[in-house]
Structure 1
């Protein structure tokens, strides 16, 4: 008789399973979340702003940081800010999480998959150079396992073709490339705070933006395209200036992130 397959979707009794690891949630993080729940700010509020500033100071040389609901949100936001549009082509590594490329499908962008270096599992620089053409509008690299890609060579290619580099640094919080922290190098860098990442906020992400002139647009797109400054000034007629999404982080999540930075 064929043995029935056991439903492992919910582990009611962990004694039946080999537990590899747990998400780490410190006592400080739990305390910080409870403090937020006792205030009137549980959505996007002052904790989000503090988390953005604290994270950037620690990992991104104080470059502008935008906290969002997930690493995928941060990637999608970066693709929008980079000006990518339907019909464009981008180069991305063939070996990466689905999240790196899903936004491209929504945007109607063609993905040119670059092979990986078998020694590092990072994007193969030579293949990137071979794939470059006039239709490519961005290069996406993923620092697999926290090991940075060859940023010097990628920057040389990007400079030659005048395209931005977008770093997927979901694995690379705190990593450095030749003395520079990942997050301080390229046009855009995404970090993930999903449940099993180095820093967790339950789920969440951070986008580091090198061009400070894009920060206002980033904040608008994060919140439906609404210009919140104009709205607060009492100008209601034109507060939506472009198509946006609901990508913001909550103060509950930010409290967990701040606690992680303090440990």
Structure 2
């Protein structure tokens, strides 16, 4: 059984409205630091039900800016999950601080609040929760822990824009929340990201940080004079990227609805497939489904996962694995002394994970193809 068209695990959707929005901005006289940036920031802040948005050129830059806003420094510790892309922990290391890995819940692969509490020391400054695959974490429990110990709470919401928890929008669940607009995410600016917050001081610090540490942009300067007060970065996002983001944002609700429809089709079939299971959904969580992740059941799944992965790739499915636990990367082993066995739940889960195609342009027939190929592979053993 083959597949006549390649189905990646994720893919952007670009239409004529997007092209026109970008073209109009390219001929507007503004290419960067113009009106579309603030318009996009305000729109994403409104979606998130918070006061401020700070546009930057990647989700990684948003994470870095947040750590700067929190005043992280060498010697500090921040608790992070291992089941995420490395940027979620790298942003701590960028500041000279130490990421401390708290294991995940085996049913959801979200950071386990009980494990977080066990890892708090006098050096702990904060917690970074990651909404793995698009499902909001247990922010109620994490907020109690953060407030009890005087810690900041950041939300890596790069997978979960448009989701909610008990009716409260993603983006409003932490002190600062971070989004990514990479092409495989729910909406795209090409590359891009944003930090959203209700805190005006965090907003101010992140704006300075993204602009070289300069306290005012050129529109606010008195003639030629400016001052760099902090060591910042050039993390600005262009006007034409923000124009694309605004156009994409108009379709976000429809796209997330379609992702949930696709997930429902997958869920229905996986209820009858004994060898594989999707991750569980927490009560009150409204999943945004950046990824649709399934997990092979049983122990010693790695060889079987490899065979299934290779078979599906051969048949034209761009399946992926999300993620190699961050603490197992060579850099973290060398720099921070992390080791295999540190987060056993994440490590065991990793051996059996596969991310299946999930993007709004998928048709029901595409889902049928994916499921048929999986069933065929399992029947072949």
Aligned match of 1:152: 140
Q: Answer with 1 or 2: which has the greater Rg.
A: 2
**Secondary structure of 1:206's aligned partner:** strand
For 2:99 and 2:46, how far apart are their aligned partners in 1?
A: 33
Aligned match of 1:30: 19
Shift >4 Å, 4+ stretches: 235-238
For 2:37 and 2:195, how far apart are their aligned partners in 1?
A: 13
Q: Would the aligned equivalents of 1:186 and 1:210 in 2 still touch at CA under 8 Å? A: no
Q: Would the aligned equivalents of 2:50 and 2:196 in 1 still touch at CA under 8 Å? A: no
Aligned match of 1:47: 36
**Secondary structure of 2:68's aligned partner:** helix
**Secondary structure of 1:111's aligned partner:** strand
For 1:193 and 1:184, how far apart are their aligned partners in 2?
A: 18
Aligned match of 1:72: 60
Confirm or deny that 1:178 pairs with 2:166: yes
Change (3 A) 1:25 1:234: same
Aligned match of 1:209: 197
How far did 1:229 drift?
5.3
**Secondary structure of 1:49's aligned partner:** helix
Structure 1 stretches lacking a partner, 5+ long: 1-14
How far did 1:101 drift?
1.4
Q: Would the aligned equivalents of 2:12 and 2:187 in 1 still touch at CA under 8 Å? A: no
**Secondary structure of 1:41's aligned partner:** coil
For 2:237 and 2:226, how far apart are their aligned partners in 1?
A: 24
**Secondary structure of 2:7's aligned partner:** coil
Structure 2 stretches lacking a partner, 5+ long: 252-381
Residues 204-258 of structure 1 deviation map (CA, whole Å, 9 limit, x = unaligned): 0010122112322221111001122587341655521211111111111101110
Change (3 A) 1:201 1:237: closer
Aligned match of 1:5: none
Q: Would the aligned equivalents of 1:53 and 1:62 in 2 still touch at CA under 8 Å? A: no
How far did 1:133 drift?
1.3
How far did 1:157 drift?
0.4
Q: Would the aligned equivalents of 2:157 and 2:178 in 1 still touch at CA under 8 Å? A: yes
Q: Would the aligned equivalents of 1:90 and 1:137 in 2 still touch at CA under 8 Å? A: yes
Q: Would the aligned equivalents of 1:231 and 1:239 in 2 still touch at CA under 8 Å? A: no
How far did 1:130 drift?
0.4
> 101-110 or 249-258, which moves further after superposition?
101-110
TM-score (norm 1): 0.89
Among 108, 115, 128, the alignment partner of 1:120 is: 108
**Secondary structure of 1:246's aligned partner:** coil
Aligned match of 1:6: none
Confirm or deny that 1:195 pairs with 2:183: yes
How many residue pairs align between the two structures? 248
Change (3 A) 1:36 1:237: closer
For 2:112 and 2:202, how far apart are their aligned partners in 1?
A: 30
Change (3 A) 1:212 1:66: same
**Secondary structure of 1:249's aligned partner:** coil
Among 145, 157, 163, the alignment partner of 2:151 is: 163
Q: Would the aligned equivalents of 2:212 and 2:233 in 1 still touch at CA under 8 Å? A: yes
Residues 129-171 of structure 1 deviation map (CA, whole Å, 9 limit, x = unaligned): 1001111001000011111111111001000100110100011
